[in-house]
A and B are shown apart, each in its own frame.
Chain A
Amino acid sequence: MSPQPQASVGAPLSRVDGRLKVTGGADYAADHHPEGVVHAVIVDSGIGRGRISGIDTGAAEAQPGVIRVITHRNAPTLPYRDNAGSNNPAGGRRLRVFQDDQILFHGQPVAVAVATTLEAAQHAASLVKVVYDAQPPSTDLSDPDVPTNTPTTYARGDAQAALDSAAVRMEMTYRLARNHHNPMEPHATVARWDGDRLTVWDKTQWVIGGTQTELAAVFGIPLESVRVISPFVGGAFGSGLRTWPHTTIAALAARETRRPVKLVLSRRQQYFGTGFRPACEYQLSLGSDRSGRVSAMVHDMRTETSTYEPFGERGILPLGQVLYDTPNVSQTYRTARLDVNTPVAMRGPGFATAAYAIESAMDELSYELGIDPIELRVRNEPEADPSNGNAFSTRRLRECYTTGAREFGWDRRDPKPRATRDGDWLIGTGVATGVYHTLRNPAQARVRLDADGSALVESATSDMGPGTYTSMTQVAADALGLPMRRVTFRLGDSLMPNAPLHGGSLTMASVGSAVLNGADQLRQQAIRLAVEDERSPLYGADAGTVVVRNGRLHVPDNPSRGETYQQLLARNDRAGLEVLGTYTPVQNRFTIEAYAAVFAEVAVDARLGLVRVRRMLGVYDAGRIISPKLAESQAIGGMVGGIGQALLEHTVTDHRDGRIVNANLADYLVPVNADIIDLKAIYLQGEDMDADPLGVKGLGEVVLVGVAPAIANAVFHATGHRVRELPITADALL
């Protein structure tokens, strides 16, 4: 951090965009209405595999208000250039909208109806008649005959030999259902062409690298011809990391009709029009001695992907390599090619999946050996990264557990399963570890100080909810020596300096470091201007000692010697100062991760199998916390997401035709207010200066990762019944 006094960073401030959000003034993608905008509604495939043999748009086109119906028969050929560097899975061929008659999954777009009103477009879409040559789709991950892509493997030591010779051997298979992000805001794109230039208002987590580059590639136009605007994102959790077909369809429809077009996916269409956390089968064998030292782990994982793109959960492997000091590890990870749309990263990608299996297995081992689950974890805690010998930058997982155990009252726990009752309810507690690696990507931010002493900071990043607007303002305010109200942070426009994807918990470390760099540079520029200016009271002062507070430059040991930014700029006849802040991650010899110890107490109705999470506690080692009030919201939100994953969320496919049968918020269950009782988050005070200049390690993922296994372990403790499948539903407990 800079030598500046920290007035805003670390203070429990309210969101700077709070007023907009509580008055309905925050404009999300579908809230934009360019002059003359018309509406588009997608017609999606009613079969899971095959081809379109006939399509009749006559009735749809005859409807009043209908402008055009576009299908593969009348759509222009689109260039679909490669877009390496985006989140399109390498080695795949992305779905090309309306380019041929092939159907690759149930719900694939087959037509789009464009009309002057939404009602007319919806009705027209319902009137498009499509005839198919249908083939039975393959959508079942558990089908052993499904073809798989080349596996990813990892090995250290000799896991099989160590397993064979271990005093205790356990072999489990865990299953995780497919989950959908289901952000409250449906994906939406408003597209407008001005000549050969395209503007889209889009829901995206990657304004430049994800959406701008993809639209340029799909339409074969220069990057500069595409502008992407995305000031507010109504949640995403990963679903906005790629540009999905509907965005291309909106732009195509706008070009074909020469009108601005608004296209909002229906809630149902989210389920196949955007990605999902793929279902997973996770076989885990472990070997241990009687004291609980785990000598071997063999991981065999399998997740869903589409036939046209090999999406792999890159985060599914690292946890099994670094979480425990296990000398012998082997991993084999396969993706199964199914007639589904392509998955995408979802909060805590891979790590959350692996943590459920590994942390459930450790819990099972703890009961097998009669060792407290926390003590078992401590006995296997590595001193250095067991995958490469690197030191951890900071790893305070033990402290997370110590603090958590004290706060949660772990010592009052009767270790025996099914031993605690409260009337009809069986009570249990469980713990699990959460880990997420600290990602950092190059980023830029423009910082401008105006003659009136206010600052504007811009970067083409996003704010899907964590509070980017607020936290960046805090960082800039302190580095510039300005109060929060004098600093404005803007984001979400491809005309702004480049920023990485807003996901993987990397925004604070990456964009925040660029903001810090830009604000530090600018402040130093102003200080230099002052100390070299004969007319300044600071003339001749040592630039290194000058600080700025409340917009006034001064020497700390003589506060009366100083002047304001306004005075300095006015006297020098400067309209302002402007700097481009940059951040480039430094490769170092550390393994850098954020950690969580998660505690859960559940009550299970002994007769009905109903599970209620009575309370949860998360204790986090996540480096410096820039914005404590917002960080707490992130953490409890991660717990709510994990409660959903553990107990409710399950995308169900009818394998006969590939249709998702619960593609709505009444049947795909997510936690509601009545499900959430008592959640508490504690962040360990600290910073990790080996991670990045801000000392942060990322929050958004780690707060979800250990939640589901903590709940699953608590359910076992309550009932004595081990359910190895998520979500844990009542029927599994009866």
Chain B
Amino acid sequence: MSTELPESTVSPPTRAPFTTSRRTFIATTTLAGGAVVAGGLFVGPNALGDESAAEPPSGRVSLTVNGVRHTVMVDNRTSLLDLLREHLDLTGSKKGCNAGACGACTVLVDGQRVNSCLTLAVRLDGAEVTTIEGLADGEDLHALQQAFIDQDAFQCGFCTSGQIMSGVGCIKEGHTGSAEEIREWMSGNICRCGCYTKIVRAVDHAARGK
């Protein structure tokens, strides 16, 4: 759930959190192609409970996700993964362990692969984030996406977004000199269906432009 506000109404980060809330701590202003796209004020459901309870600290962040700039007020506890999934409706990145052990949440932040579950959204002011939803060029899949299909490098598909984002990072880093090297540098992404040999093949093919 998100609250969309015109840019001018977004609270500056130094100001006390919303006085209107006990509801939702995120405000989103989206700038696409330079134009301000602002939704009207959406008031979330009121909570029950003690009026005196303190609002959780929140902060204002401007970040670009898949080429679209978002300025958001975000609960300081919110991970990049939860920001993407629960507030920006980008559910392609998956939560497999929420502890950095499985890699299902892998996205690129400023070109580097990161576990978005371990990355606090509030720290990402000015960051450029690429998720699985932003990898293809319109209808044209990224070479690694196509390679995953061709090699059947997935079964259930739940780890696939993370595998592909991690594979893009792996190729970019130049860690694709051999199957052994790919295996090592792709080991942060667990595939419980066990498609590893095919994942290696897909990364190798994409790296070599096959």
Contacts and interface: CB of A to CB of B under 8 A. Distances in A.
Given A64-B53, A235-B192, A466-B155, A674 B183 contact: yes
Given A65-B22, A118-B82, A119-B78, A14 B155 contact: no
Interface string B82-94: 1001100111111
Contacts of B198: 633, 636
A66 B190 contact: no
Contacts, number: 229
A408 interface: no
Given A64-B55, A465-B193, A637-B193, A24 B158 contact: no
A115 interface: yes
A251 to B, nearest CB: 19
A233 to B, nearest CB: 6
B55 A119 contact: no
B47 A64 contact: yes
A5 B203 CA distance: 36
B116 interface: no
Given A184-B94, A670-B192, A64 B99 contact: no
Given A24-B91, A118-B82, A184-B159, A629 B152 contact: yes
A18 B141 CA distance: 11
A636 B47 contact: no
Contacts of B98: 266-267
Given A184-B158, A670-B192, A30 B48 contact: no
Given A21-B154, A185-B156, A673 B187 contact: yes
Given A23-B136, A33-B89, A673 B157 contact: no
Nearest to B134: A24
A27 B86 contact: no
B110 to A, nearest CB: 20
A175 interface: no
Contacts of B49: 61-64, 66
B160 interface: yes
B97 A117 contact: no
Interface in A616-646: 629-630, 632-634, 636-641
Given A68-B48, A184-B159, A119 B152 contact: no
Interface residues of B, number: 75
B1 A464 contact: no
A674 B156 contact: no
A671 B196 contact: yes
> Which of B82, B136, B148, B152 neighbours the largest number of chain A CB atoms within 10 Å of its CB?
B152
A115 B149 CA distance: 39
Given A24-B161, A116-B44, A672-B187, A186 B96 contact: yes
Contact of A665 (B54, B97, B191, B196): B97
Interface in A57-92: 61-68
Contact of B99 (A26, A235, A640, A664): A664
A679 B192 CA distance: 15
Contacts of B154: 18, 21-22
B31 to A, nearest CB: 22
Contacts of B148: 18, 22
A673 B196 contact: yes
B60 interface: no
Contacts of A679: 197
B91 A31 contact: yes
Nearest to B52: A62
A637 B152 CA distance: 12
A676 B95 contact: no
Nearest to B89: A33
A519 to B, nearest CB: 25
A647 to B, nearest CB: 14
Contacts of B150: 14
A235 B149 CA distance: 18
A589 interface: no
B151 to A, nearest CB: 9
Given A62-B53, A119-B77, A665-B102, A670 B190 contact: yes
Interface in A100-119: 115-119
Contacts of A724: none
Contact of B149 (A22, A31, A61): A22
B24 A21 contact: no
Contacts of B21: 64
Contacts of A182: 192
A117 B24 contact: yes
B80 interface: no
Interface string B120-155: 000000000001110110000100011011101011
A27 B91 contact: yes
B73 interface: no
Contacts of A636: 194-198
B45 A259 contact: yes
A123 B141 CA distance: 40
A634 B102 CA distance: 21
Interface in A30-69: 30-31, 33, 36-38, 61-68
A531 B79 CA distance: 64
Nearest to A65: B47
17 contacts: A18-B154, A22-B160, A27-B91, A65-B47, A67-B48, A122-B77, A182-B192, A183-B192, A184-B158, A234-B156, A267-B96, A633-B193, A633-B198, A636-B198, A670-B190, A672-B188, A675-B196
User: Would you list the 6 A-B pairs with minimal beta carbon distance, nearest first?
Assistant: A24-B92, A640-B194, A234-B158, A465-B155, A21-B157, A637-B194
